[in-house]
Structure 1
Amino acid sequence: MANIWKKMTRKEDPEVYKSKDKHLLQVLEVKDFLALGVGTIVSTSIFTLPGVVAAKHAGPAVALSFLAAAVVAALVAFAYAEMSSTMPFAGSAYSWVNVVFGEGFGWIAGWALLAEYFIAVAFVGSGLSANLRGLLSPLGIELPRQLSNTLGTNGGWFDLLAIIAMLIVSFVLSRGASEAARVENVLVVLKVLAVVIFLVVGVTAIKGENYVPFIPEYHPNPDGTAFGGWQGIYAGVSSIFLSYVGFDSIASNAAEAKNPSKTMPRGILGSLVIAVILFVAVALVLVGMFKYTNYTDNAEPVGWALRHAGHPLVAVVVQAIAVVGMFTALIGMMLAGSRLLYSFGRDGMLPKWLGQLNKNNLPNHALFFLTAIAVVIGAVLPFVTLSQLISAGTLIAFMFVSLGIYRLRPREGKDLPEAGFKMPWYPVMPALAFLGSFVVFMGLDQQAKIYSLGWFVLGILIYLCYGMQNSNLNNKEEKD
């Protein structure tokens, strides 16, 4: 047991990561990271979750759920900004935790994030498909239910449109990060425009009575979750926290940043501020247009609300732009997830072919593997289950990164460079970020916790049986 602990706590030399990642092209600027962040954060969830969470948990107070989640996300974002400015390595939390806590803990954080990316890609693909089908349905274009739903849902076999979307994005990313960034920058502008159009038109349809009572009376849902009261707001926070996890996708691409000590903090914090404003505004307008009960099990509430408010043409325009814009979230998540898988292969924690670069210095082996897994997950798991599972994996990584600041700060200016950005109110804020992430995690439903526990156990087994023996650190020790 002592030997296992010794191996879990052996730390990677940051110079090794710097050397290995230098072949990745440093082409991304602040505007690219803002586009990646906003594109990933303001994704499927802004067009779906405000209505779904209002109906199931919080009522009109869904805006408070978004604000509370934003506070926790902001605390963690400060930690991410300092980490990424000091250690601009591919793999974000996995690589950082490997340096400050050790190999085993880095693997746990990275394994948790891997669940986020596998599932988030499938989740965004499902949301894109739902909105596209909502757009095509009034035109009389409908796919058979077997090709429109996940396995076992309403007679479905697989979601064909979601799979096609993932394959298109995988092809774009295989051409390089700079190519993807150019596409992302254009699509993000379009998506924000769609949100603004919805807000401008939706405000004209708001009815004051739909906000009363703003915080409905508490009662348990049939599935054991909470509705109404502070309990419902809390349950809403846990359900929608995935809305703000996009800044991790920025950090995963730090090795491809120009001047990362300044680029990374500005990209992470800037994209989060923009996202919070848009999310809260959409939530308030959506529940003001119609009573929240109308959004129960509605996977495209924004389009539905516009159509039923007498704006079918605006609904078509907004949903058309939104569907195109959802590709930005797929680009961000698949780009980040492939860099994380590359990091695992780079370090020997998973088969080394995942860490190989092609002749253009792109980790396409990792990209294609991520795509294949996401396609399978997207064909099997339903939309609502996916949202909670994304939050579970991300929150575990967030807790590691928050505590990691205590190990990072004493090493800055010594074996690590001085941070281009420092988390304020040290040492209090890292503790608040950890506690906030833990509280949100505890609010996840039982099914998400059980699934995340199963994923955690699987990850530990893979580490003990493969990663611990095949890691570069282990090979180095054996040679020494």
Structure 2
Amino acid sequence: MRAFWQRLIKKEDPSVYEDKDSHLPRVLKVKDFLALGVGTIVSTTIFTLPGVVAATHAGPAVALSCLVAAIVAGLVAFAYAEMAAAMPFAGSAYSWINVVFGEVFGWIAGWALLAEYFIAVAFVASGLSANFRGLLATFSVHMPNALANPMGTNGGIVDIIAVVVMVLVGLLLSRGLSNAARVENILVVLKVIAILAFVGIGLTAIHIENLTPFIPKFHLNADGTAFGGWQGIYAGVSMIFLAYIGFDSIAANSAEAKDPEKTMPRGIIGSLIIAVILFVSVSLVLVGMFDYHKYANNAAPVGWALTQAGHPMAAIVIEAVAVIGMFTALIGMMMAGSRLLYSFGRDGMLPKFLGKLNHNHLPNNALLTLTIIGVVIGAFFPFEFLAQLISAGTLIAFMFVALGIYRLRPREGKDIANPAFKMPFYPVLPAIAFLGALAVFMGLDIQAKLYSGIWFVIGLVIYLTYGIRHSALADKKK
């Protein structure tokens, strides 16, 4: 039994990852990571979640839910920044935890993140589809239900728009990160301009009475979930938090960063700061324009609010730019998810063809696999089902990374590089980051916890029946 446990916690040598990932071209700069982070964090969710959370949990205090979620994410982002600067390996938390805690813990963290990327790719594509169809509707163009909705939802068979956008982004990424980064940078600028335009126009249509009481009185919704009070804000935090998990997509691409000691901390922390400012601004303006009850079950609240406020042309332009800008989140998620799958294949934890690079040193086998899985999920599973499942896996990985700082710090300057950036207020802040992520996880919907538990069991079975025997560490002497 002791020998089996020793095998489970066997650690990977960081120099092995440095060697394996050395073939990936280092082409990404700080501006690319800022664009990648902002593009991924400020995704479909900024145009949908503030209205949904306001209507179902927090009322006008949705801005506080955004702020608290950002604080927790910021604490974890400090840990991510130090990890990424010290160990700029593909696969982010999976590779780091493999080095500092051992293989089984690396697998758990990586498997949890894999759920995020599989579902997030589909979630973003579904959100883009919903907003694009909303835009078409303003021109009285309506797609048939069979092609507009996933199977089993409102007469749907397949969400064809979600399928098309995932395939297009997959083709773009298959040509290399330099091209994708250029497209990402341009689209992020357009999206931020669209958000600022909405905020500017929305400020002229705010009615103060819609913001009072700022924290509604607490009661239970019909489904037993909390509304109002600090309980409602807390419930909102757990929903909003999925918006901020995008900084993991920066870390997952750290093996392709120029001067990662500088680019990774600046990209991770900088993008999160920009994102929280935009989120809080949109939340306050959105609920200030109309009573928050009106945003219930509204998949495109930004365009709806502008139209109802008498700015139909602005709604069309901003929604059009917003839809185009949603490609940025899809680019970021598919980049990061394919690098995580590549890492699993690189280490033999999943079939090794996933870890193969093509003649341009790109992990296109992993990219193709991610695209196919994303298409299946996004085309056939409903939007609401996807939304509640993303945060759980990421929060598990976040908790591992926060605790991992305690294992990383003693090894810095020895077998692991001594990074220029370090998490401040050590050893207190890593513990607070862990507790914050745990608190958000505990506030998740019971279904999200249930499905994450099922995903964990499936992952453990795959590890014990395949990963542990085919892993690169299995060939090394104990």
TM tier, smaller: over 0.9
Residue 389 of structure 2 corresponds to 389
Amino acid at match of 1:457: V
Matches within 5 A, 1:49-60: 49-60=49-60
Question: What TM-score results when the alignment is normalised by the length of structure 2?
Answer: 0.99
Amino acid at match of 2:72: V
Residue 471 of structure 1 corresponds to 471
CA separation in 1, counterparts of 2:473 and 2:395? 27
- Residue 380 of structure 1, CA deviation: 2.9
Residue 22 of structure 2 corresponds to 22
CA separation in 2, counterparts of 1:387 and 1:398? 19
CA separation in 1, counterparts of 2:92 and 2:81? 11
Amino acid at match of 2:139: L
97-106 vs 1-10, which deviates more?
1-10
Residue 215 of structure 1 corresponds to 215
Amino acid at match of 1:408: L
Instruction: Give the match's secondary structure for 1:22.
Output: helix
Amino acid at match of 2:339: R
Whether the aligned pair in 1 keeps the contact of 2:389 and 2:451 (CA below 8 Å) is: yes
Q: What CA deviation, in whole Å up to 9, does each residue of 1:154-183 have, x standing for no partner?
A: 121121111111010000000011110010
Instruction: Flag structure 1 segments of 5+ consecutive residues without an equivalent.
Output: none
Whether the aligned pair in 1 keeps the contact of 2:138 and 2:316 (CA below 8 Å) is: no
Matches within 5 A, 1:355-374: 355-374=355-374
Whether the aligned pair in 2 keeps the contact of 1:65 and 1:234 (CA below 8 Å) is: yes
CA separation in 1, counterparts of 2:81 and 2:357? 27
Residue 462 of structure 2 corresponds to 462
Matches within 5 A, 1:261-410: 261-410=261-410
What is the RMSD of the two structures over their aligned residues, measured on CA atoms? 0.8
Whether the aligned pair in 2 keeps the contact of 1:412 and 1:418 (CA below 8 Å) is: yes
Equivalent pairs counted in the alignment come to 478
156-165 vs 61-70, which deviates more?
156-165
CA separation in 2, counterparts of 1:156 and 1:426? 52
Whether the aligned pair in 2 keeps the contact of 1:385 and 1:448 (CA below 8 Å) is: no
- Residue 420 of structure 1, CA deviation: 1.9
User: Percent identity among equivalent residues?
Assistant: 71
CA separation in 2, counterparts of 1:154 and 1:131? 17
Residue 71 of structure 1 corresponds to 71
Amino acid at match of 1:35: A
Residue 234 of structure 2 corresponds to 234
Q: What CA deviation, in whole Å up to 9, does each residue of 1:253-296 have, x standing for no partner?
A: 00000000011000000000000000000000000000000000
Whether the aligned pair in 2 keeps the contact of 1:218 and 1:228 (CA below 8 Å) is: yes
- Residue 242 of structure 1, CA deviation: 0.7
CA separation in 2, counterparts of 1:179 and 1:410? 39
- Residue 148 of structure 1, CA deviation: 1.0
- Residue 212 of structure 1, CA deviation: 1.2
- Residue 4 of structure 1, CA deviation: 3.0
CA separation in 2, counterparts of 1:464 and 1:224? 38
Whether the aligned pair in 2 keeps the contact of 1:238 and 1:388 (CA below 8 Å) is: no
Amino acid at match of 1:61: A
Instruction: Give the match's secondary structure for 1:325.
Output: helix
Q: What CA deviation, in whole Å up to 9, does each residue of 1:219-277 have, x standing for no partner?
A: 11122211111111000000110110111000000000000001100000000000000
Whether the aligned pair in 2 keeps the contact of 1:27 and 1:256 (CA below 8 Å) is: yes
- Residue 139 of structure 1, CA deviation: 1.0
Residue 123 of structure 1 corresponds to 123
CA separation in 2, counterparts of 1:385 and 1:396? 20
Amino acid at match of 2:445: D
Flag as ranges the 4+ runs of structure 1 deviating above 3 A.
none
379-388 vs 333-342, which deviates more?
379-388
- Residue 121 of structure 1, CA deviation: 0.4
CA separation in 2, counterparts of 1:24 and 1:95? 15
CA separation in 2, counterparts of 1:112 and 1:16? 23
